[in-house]
């Protein structure tokens, strides 16, 4: 029946031999690889099905120049270091994909690449689930959805119907050469939007960057990267997003060796900042008058981290050099003091719009009772409301760090422990049953 040791990481034409499995993991990104490691350690028979290749999102779902937002010492799983890199360097996206492939190979993860899971339904007349795949049907006692936090690029409904403009989501942006000559409007100033805007501006493009509410940590402070500060201050472990801040984006970059995102600095560099993009009509785009507020609230967030860091240093008597220059503020540029509220795209020479406006999830293949009326996964730390169905890798699954490389590893451990515990209950036999079996 089951050939669990088969590790075909590249897509093959071979059918999936397995027809029954205890636990099926769907998706072999970092979440699926972490799940497989933990289940393997606990002796849980399992199989990972991946429709493309291991870490496909890092291979083909990101722009060419992307590097990790966190340094190599941090953005990794506990069991393997980036041995070829300086621990403070930011690995390229290809290096991260190779890392997960190496990691899966290290424990011979039972991953079948090139197999799509198309439907999962709970069995009516027996335990477990029927899983329809592109290579046949599998019976599974449990299913772990590890299909990613960022599956479906979201372009808001305000996007204009205008053939003169090239419009793409940041998921489809690769490099400046892909865009027609002319200026670009980048909508969204989280980590993707600011990095893309910066890259386009450095390539000689005129760029308008639409900036909404954001958090803006310092890249580093007092000789420590912000990932370290978030760790020691307990902020990665924050359990739920503050009300109203569930979707506040975080503007951070590992590009060019890593630097703090400073919107005033981007403006002085030549990028024109505008407020939240509100609407398009007859070739004219309207922006909200919220740019200065958004930047001021980003500053507050930035300064609050410096304050918390200083207090931590003092409380713990740490010998970390003071860094008063981190509090230096560039003067507000004209685009902030006299914000553009309307822009005629043709007159401004804008030929493309990059929508760096985030993603949603798609669980249409998972036909079980694990969602609320709005289709949102219902779970507690990944253990869903449908017994036997689990999620890993979702935003805020257990805490702020849940979608990040190191965070998903810990969430997967919790889910694997739950699965192993449930298997123990199922395996339990009372005295009479034990006697009958003797």
Ligand X SMILES: Cc1cc2nc3c(=O)[nH]c(=O)nc-3n(C[C@H](O)[C@H](O)[C@H](O)COP(=O)(O)OP(=O)(O)OC[C@H]3O[C@@H](n4cnc5c(N)ncnc54)[C@H](O)[C@@H]3O)c2cc1C
Closest distance to ligand X from the beta carbon of 297 (Å): 23
DSSP 8-state class, residue 427: H
Give the Cα separation of 236 and 410 in Å (integer): 12
Closest distance to ligand X from the beta carbon of 358 (Å): 9
Give the Cα separation of 302 and 394 in Å (integer): 26
> 35 vs 285, which CB is nearer to ligand X?
35
Give the Cα separation of 366 and 369 in Å (integer): 9
Closest distance to ligand X from the beta carbon of 366 (Å): 9
Q: How many CB atoms lie within 10 A of CB 127?
A: 12
> 22 vs 411, which CB is nearer to ligand X?
411
Closest distance to ligand X from the beta carbon of 109 (Å): 13
Closest distance to ligand X from the beta carbon of 50 (Å): 5
Which positions touch ligand X (CB under 6 A)?
26-32, 49-52, 56-57, 62, 68-70, 75, 116-117, 146-150, 192, 365, 393, 403-405, 408
Q: The tokens 């860091």 sit on which residue?
A: 309
> 287 vs 355, which CB is nearer to ligand X?
355
Give the Cα separation of 215 and 299 in Å (integer): 8
Closest distance to ligand X from the beta carbon of 291 (Å): 24
> 255 vs 320, which CB is nearer to ligand X?
255
Taking the alpha carbons at both ends of the chain, their separation in whole angstroms is 27
* Contact (Cβ atoms closer than 8 angstroms) between residue 292 and residue 333: no
Closest distance to ligand X from the beta carbon of 88 (Å): 14
> 104 vs 285, which CB is nearer to ligand X?
104
C-alpha triplet 156, 238, 379: angle, nearest 5°: 65
> 146 vs 267, which CB is nearer to ligand X?
146
* Contact (Cβ atoms closer than 8 angstroms) between residue 23 and residue 126: no
> 19 vs 134, which CB is nearer to ligand X?
134
> 280 vs 355, which CB is nearer to ligand X?
355
> 173 vs 287, which CB is nearer to ligand X?
173
Instruction: Compute and round to an integer the Cα radius of gyration of the chain.
Output: 24
* Contact (Cβ atoms closer than 8 angstroms) between residue 223 and residue 326: no
Give the Cα separation of 287 and 275 in Å (integer): 5
CA distances to 33, 145, 152, 291, 400 from 377, rounded to whole Å, are: 21, 10, 15, 34, 17
Closest residue to ligand X, judged by C-beta, is: 29
* Contact (Cβ atoms closer than 8 angstroms) between residue 38 and residue 413: yes
Closest distance to ligand X from the beta carbon of 430 (Å): 39
Give the Cα separation of 24 and 1 in Å (integer): 15
Helix then strand then coil, in percent of the chain rounded to 5, is 30, 20, 45
Closest distance to ligand X from the beta carbon of 267 (Å): 23
């Amino acid at each position: 029946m089951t050939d669990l040791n088969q590790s075909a990481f590249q897509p093959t034409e071979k059918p999936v031999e397995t027809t029954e499995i205890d636990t099926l993991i769907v998706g072999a990104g970092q979440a699926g690889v972490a799940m497989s490691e933990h289940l393997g350690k606990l002796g849980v028979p399992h199989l990972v099905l991946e429709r493309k290749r291991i870490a496909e999102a890092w291979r083909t779902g990101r722009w060419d120049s992307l590097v990790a937002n966190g340094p190599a010492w941090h953005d990794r799983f506990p069991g393997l270091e980036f041995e070829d890199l300086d621990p403070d360097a930011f690995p390229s996206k290809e290096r991260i994909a190779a890392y997960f492939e190496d990691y899966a190979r290290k424990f011979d993860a039972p991953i079948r690449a090139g197999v799509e899971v198309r439907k999962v339904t709970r069995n009516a007349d027996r335990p477990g689930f029927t899983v329809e795949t592109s290579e046949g049907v599998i019976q599974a006692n449990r299913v772990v959805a590890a299909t990613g936090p960022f599956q479906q690029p979201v372009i808001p409904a305000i996007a204009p119907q205008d053939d003169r403009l090239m419009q793409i989501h940041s998921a489809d942006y690769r490099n400046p050469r892909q865009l027609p000559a002319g200026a670009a409007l980048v909508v969204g100033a989280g980590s993707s939007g600011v990095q893309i805007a910066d890259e386009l501006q450095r390539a000689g493009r005129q760029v308008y960057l639409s900036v909404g509410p954001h958090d803006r940590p310092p890249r580093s402070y007092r000789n420590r990267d912000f990932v370290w500060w978030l760790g020691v201050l307990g902020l990665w472990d924050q359990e739920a997003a503050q009300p109203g801040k569930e979707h506040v984006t975080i503007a951070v970059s590992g590009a060019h060796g890593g630097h703090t995102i400073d919107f005033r600095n981007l403006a002085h560099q030549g990028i024109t900042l505008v407020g939240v993009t509100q609407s398009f009509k007859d070739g004219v785009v309207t922006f909200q008058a919220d740019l200065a507020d958004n930047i001021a609230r980003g500053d507050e967030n930035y300064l609050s981290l410096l304050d918390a860091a200083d207090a931590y240093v003092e409380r713990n008597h740490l010998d970390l050099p003071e860094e008063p220059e981190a509090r230096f503020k560039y003067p507000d540029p004209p685009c902030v003091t006299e914000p553009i509220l309307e822009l005629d795209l043709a007159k401004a020479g804008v030929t493309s719009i990059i929508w760096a406006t985030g993603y949603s999830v798609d669980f249409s293949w998972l036909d079980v009772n694990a969602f609320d009326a709005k289709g949102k996964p219902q779970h507690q730390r990944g253990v869903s409301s449908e017994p036997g169905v689990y999620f890993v890798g979702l935003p805020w699954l257990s805490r702020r760090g849940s979608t990040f490389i190191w965070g998903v590893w810990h969430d997967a451990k919790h889910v694997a422990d739950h699965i192993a515990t449930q298997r123990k209950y199922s395996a339990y036999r009372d005295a009479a049953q034990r006697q009958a079996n003797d």
